[in-house]
Structure 1
Amino acid sequence: MSGHNQPQPAFVVTHRMVLGLALPMTFGFLTIPLLGITDTAVAGRLGDAAALAGLAIGAVLFDLIFTTFNFLRASTTALVAQAWGRGDHDEQEAVFWRALLTAIVLGIAIVVLSPLILKLGLLLMAPEPAAAEATSHWLSVRILSGPAALANYAVLGYLLGRGKAKTGLAIQALINGINILCCILFGLWMKGGIGGIALATVTGETIGMLVGLVIVLRGFATRNPFHRPDLLDRSKLKALFALNSDIMIRTFVLLGAFMVMTRIGNAYGPVVLAANAVLMNFFMVAGFWLDGLANAAETIIGRAIGAGHKPAFDRGVWLTGVWSLVLAGLTSLFFLVFGAPIIDFLTTVPEVRLMAYEHLPLAAATAVCGFLAFHMDGVFIGATWSHAMRNRMLLAFLGYLLALALLVPWLGNQGLWLSLNVFLILRGVLLAAGLPRLRDQIF
């Protein structure tokens, strides 16, 4: 190793370290729904129902594509954190370059394939002709942000792996802030309509990427990736693609679980479907809190493994787990107490409100039932135990399908929500059960 690499001293995991890594990212994630609200509010003021429907369909398609590629962020965080633990600065830089090049290649591929993606998406969603036209217009502009959006995953992953969560938050806030301002400017003030809303996002992502690259590259020994002899190292690339593909399969299964839930809910008619959509917001908000702590676990566990420091690993697992449970408990309690007025705010339809009140306890329980799944995901990604994580996710999904087969015919929509909670519990328990053996293999 070069003189640029020095082993990190053994480090102590503290409550302050956990919250210092988790909270900035949580606030960063919370700006995402704010952005969605702004897009919807601007589209809603265009005086065209088709524009609003087109935006909603386009956003679902875009989120589906880009949630799939979130593995870029997760794998970059884990590999950079492990290199940090070893004190290997060269490898931290190499991991970033590999992630960035992968992001740009995938981003360009998405842009090239966008006509096909749009055609398939519209076939899947089957919207009205006017809404389909609005979706096509929005997505054809929005998709241009593909390379920048994926590059931002690489930037954020690198910053989190280095423990720079506050810088990550600043970039997220910058992207979403520019997006919100440009959305109002392009969409309403300059009368750009739905195309203006899409252009606002492209602007935010591109500026965010440029600022992120300046911040990251400022500390690099070499700013030309092709000066790195190990950049396209076959074994390193193979490990990266194996890790990425496992995380991607896990994400597909997770998306599949939610699609199955929507599909079954659809069979109960529009009132149940609308009530479930309102209540899913509670699970999404809980997810933002728990994702922040999962990110903290990725960084701490990656560093502990890189440094070969078992006490830091054990304490990292324990403290991130305790805080996950505390926040999940507070979130569930908050929704149980204030859920009804939140439902009233989200919908004005009386039947939908009544249906949502009825299922509120099960929706509020998702935070507590899911805390271990989110937490263990963070631990397994940080440790790069992606095969084990993927296999246990598939097992949990089988358990979910079994729960649906047993509970839905018996309990209807209540059975649907119960099955979701069973799925979340199964994911957490199956991962936690495999943890001691995997830890003993590493240390």
Structure 2
Amino acid sequence: MTQTTPVPLGEITHTRVLRIAIPIVLSNITVPVLGAVDTGVVGQLGLPGPIGAVGLGAIILSAVYWIFGFLRMGTVGLTSQALGAGDRGEVSALLTRALLIGVAGGAALIVLQVPLFWAALRAAPATAEVEALSTGYMRVRIWSAPAAIAIYGITGWLIAQERTRAVLLLQLWMNGLNIVLDLWFVLGLDWGVQGVAIATFLAEWSGLALGLWFCRAAFARPGWRDPALVFEPARLKHMMAVNGDILIRSLLLQAMFVSFLFIGSSFGDVTLAANQVLMQFLTFSAFALDGFAFTAETLVGQAMGARARDRIRRAALMTGGWGLGSVLVLSLVFATAGGAIIDLMTTAPEVRVQARGFLAYAVAAPLAGVAAFMLDGIFIGATASRDMRNMMAVSFAIYAAALALLVPTLGNHGLWLALLISFVARAVTLGLRYPALEARASG
């Protein structure tokens, strides 16, 4: 066991909440910019194949890497609690565990790349040209999988310590370098799709190096390389249990959104396109809410580690208030300017008309989902992962029942209503478990 020394946690204020949240929001903005540049650069080649190949390859790898998203969430909760408890040795050891999981997970993907790519391309078939180009793209990028996944752990470790400016700088560096190398390799050296892949490969490994430099304080303490601490059975078992629960919860959530896409496709290409346009409204809302949900993870986790029940409640209320305020603004913007936003995203007249017909759901979705989103952050910080898993399973069952009842009679309206019902179900079920979460801090 490591020694614990109480640490001053500081007052939870609006300024502190914004100081943590704003860099996360800005960091999120860089993600679609990089995707747009990747597409734009290969678009200059004047052929449709490379555009489709980069898009397909990036989607497949993003989906595979997303499976390891539990590493960021679990690391935030565990690290913030160790920090709140004053257990500096465990804070360092958690970084080592996260890095080991990231490297091992990435190495496994490299070993399994052939069957993995084959299965992915069978699930999402394309023309022979696009499949060949996308396979070449993925074969380059997969070699940076250990770095990409380890960065999830580093990001979570930094967020837990309120070092979100470092997270922003890390994203700016990786995405900025990626963009510069894209331009050089594709437009300057004419490396085509391979150039885009090599640019991302180099950016991700350089990002890991920068991330480790940001974490250098942890390496000044012996805990990070103490095998007895890093591989302590009880702590390892707890970490694996938390991460396993979060993984199951995330897979259910992903299944919900994938089913929304697949069922929407059964209503025709125009409705499918309209739904995709409107889903970008939800993505934008998530970018804004991420900042406050991550802040909740950090502050609630620190309070849980310190066994400070009042601080948990204050962190939950303050971050939740900012989350609600942000979605009120976004819903107002969507309600007043939604039509113009739709017109910016598509020039197809029939898709514009269809999207406007379902715009009300995109306006309502952030309001319906804000409580679930913020409670996710609170429960992650408290590492109440079993509750997250179980309540997600209940919510998924409610979503499936709503689909069965509403879609046959209401069509795409029923599909959107089922999604909104699932958001409310997640909020209600997690809300019912919140008193038990607070009680843990007093136990």
Tell me what 2:319 maps to: 320
User: Is the alpha carbon distance of 1:353 and 1:34 closer, same or farther for their aligned partners in structure 2, counting shifts above 3 Å?
Assistant: same
Mapped to 1, the partners of 2:174 and 2:359 lie a distance apart of: 34
Shift of 1:412: 1.1
Matched, 1:281 2:280: yes
Whole-Å separation in 2 of the counterparts to 1:71 and 1:346:
32
Q: CA offset at residue 435 of structure 1?
A: 0.3
**TM-score, with length taken from structure 1:** 0.97
Q: How far did 1:361 drift? A: 1.4
Q: Distance in 2 between matches of 1:255 and 1:43?
A: 29
**Is residue 7–residue 87 contact of structure 1 (8 Å, CA) maintained in 2?**
yes
Conserved in 1, the CA contact under 8 Å of 2:218 and 2:224?
Answer: no
- Under a length normalisation based on structure 2, what TM-score does the superposition of the two structures give? 0.97
- Equivalents in 2 of 1:112, 1:219: separation in Å? 31
Per the alignment, residue 92 of structure 1 pairs with: 91
Asked if residue 173 in structure 1 is aligned to residue 172 in structure 2, the reply is yes
- Conserved in 1, the CA contact under 8 Å of 2:9 and 2:302? no
CA contact under 8 A between 1:10 and 1:309: conserved in structure 2?
A: no
SS in 1 for 2:228: coil
Cα distance, 1:221 vs. partner? 2.8
What CA distance in whole angstroms lies between the structure 2 residues aligned with 1:364 and 1:204?
36
Kindly provide the CA deviation profile for residues 52-82 of structure 1, in whole angstroms up to 9, marking residues without a partner as x: 1222221221121111111111111111101
**What secondary structure sits across from 2:303 in the alignment?**
helix
Which amino acid in 2 is paired with 1:246? D
Aligned to 1:398: 397
How far has the Cα of 1:87 moved from its partner? 1.1
Supply the distance in 1 between the matched residues of 2:422 and 2:2 (Cα, whole angstroms).
47
Alignment-derived partner of residue 197 in structure 1: 196
Pairwise CA distance, 1:224: 8.5
Q: Which residue of 1 aligns with 2:366?
A: 367
Greater mean deviation of Cα atoms: 363-372 or 298-307: 363-372
Offset of residue 136 of structure 1: 0.7
Once residues 2 and 423 of structure 1 are traced to their aligned partners in structure 2, the CA distance between those partners, rounded to angstroms, is: 42
Deviations 1:25-62, CA, capped at 9 Å, x for gaps: 11111111111111111122221212112222212211
What is the alpha-carbon distance in structure 2 between the residues aligned to residue 407 and residue 57 of structure 1?
Answer: 32
Q: Secondary structure at the match of 1:230?
A: helix
Which letter maps to 1:160? I
Query: Over residues 162-221 of structure 1, what are the superposed CA-to-partner deviations in whole Å (9 max), with x where a residue is unaligned?
Result: 111111111111111111111121122211111111111111111111011012024533
In structure 1, give the amino acid aligned to 2:237: K
Quote the residue 1:58 is aligned against. Answer: 57
Q: CA deviation at 1:11?
A: 3.4
Alignment RMSD (CA, Å): 1.5
1:140 deviates by 1.1
Q: Is the Cα contact below 8 Å between 1:44 and 1:52 reproduced in 2?
A: yes
1:441 maps to: 440
Q: Which amino acid aligns with 1:7?
A: P
Query: Per-residue CA shift, 1:370-394, capped at 9, x if unaligned?
Result: 1111101100010000001000001
Shift of 1:438: 2.6
1:225-244 deviation line (CA, Å, top 9, x unaligned): 44442111111111111111
- Once residues 57 and 222 of structure 2 are traced to their aligned partners in structure 1, the CA distance between those partners, rounded to angstroms, is 37
Show structure 1 runs of 4+ deviating over 2 A: 9-12, 218-229
Provide the C-alpha distance between the structure 2 equivalents of 1:118 and 1:285, rounded to a whole number of angstroms: 30
Report the CA distance between 1:10 and its aligned residue.
5.3
**CA displacement at 1:366 relative to structure 2:** 1.4
Q: Which amino acid aligns with 1:204?
A: A
8 Å CA contact 1:73, 1:154 repeated in 2: yes
**Residue 223 (structure 1) shift:** 6.7
